């Protein structure tokens, strides 16, 4: 689903959190920055919803932005009933040091109405380069 041309209503019932965020730099043949994360989503609403995809906004230290939209969430379309939790681990790669990562999910509620979540903004400490 390309959400660039759609205006989806924002649904703020997912309590989302990030843990174990960290950065690894591979230096051969040229630097590649890997941001690792674990994401946890809790449906705090009083209805079910289905996640259909995700939308990333990624930015590096020279201001280059990438928007990545993908159908499915970790090769799934999870259904979260009231109180359910869904979590997964992932990684984003950058060719220059990252400075910003934002993530939104889109899907539909139990009545079939589409939505998008508010942006989940990764904390700045996620992008600190490890010292060797």
pLDDT at 118: 95
> Does residue 68 or residue 30 have the better pLDDT?
68
- Find tokens 């990030």 and name the residue: 18
pLDDT at 1: 54
Rounded mean pLDDT of the chain? 89
Checking if the pLDDT of 132 tops 50, the result is no
Could you please report the per-residue DSSP string of 21-89? EEEEEE-SSS-EEEEEEEEEEEE-SSS-EEEEEEEEEEEETT--EEEEEEESSSS---EE-TT-EEEEE
**CATH fold of 14-127:** Immunoglobulin-like (2.60.40)
> Does residue 12 or residue 132 have the better pLDDT?
12
Single pTM value for the model: 0.86
**Alpha-carbon span 54 to 61, nearest angstrom:** 23
């Amino acid at each position: 689903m390309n959400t660039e041309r759609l205006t989806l209503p924002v649904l703020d019932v997912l309590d989302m959190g990030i843990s174990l965020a960290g950065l690894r730099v591979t230096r051969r043949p040229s630097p590649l920055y890997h941001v690792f994360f674990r994401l946890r989503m809790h449906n705090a609403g009083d209805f079910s919803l289905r996640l259909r995809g995700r939308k990333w906004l990624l930015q590096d230290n020279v201001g280059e932005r990438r928007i990545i939209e993908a159908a499915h969430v970790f090769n799934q379309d999870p259904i979260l009933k009231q109180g359910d939790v869904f979590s997964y681990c992932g990684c984003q790669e950058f060719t220059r040091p990252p400075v910003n990562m934002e993530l939104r999910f889109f899907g539909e509620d139990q009545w079939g109405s589409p939505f998008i979540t508010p942006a989940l903004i990764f904390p700045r400490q996620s992008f600190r380069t490890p010292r060797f």
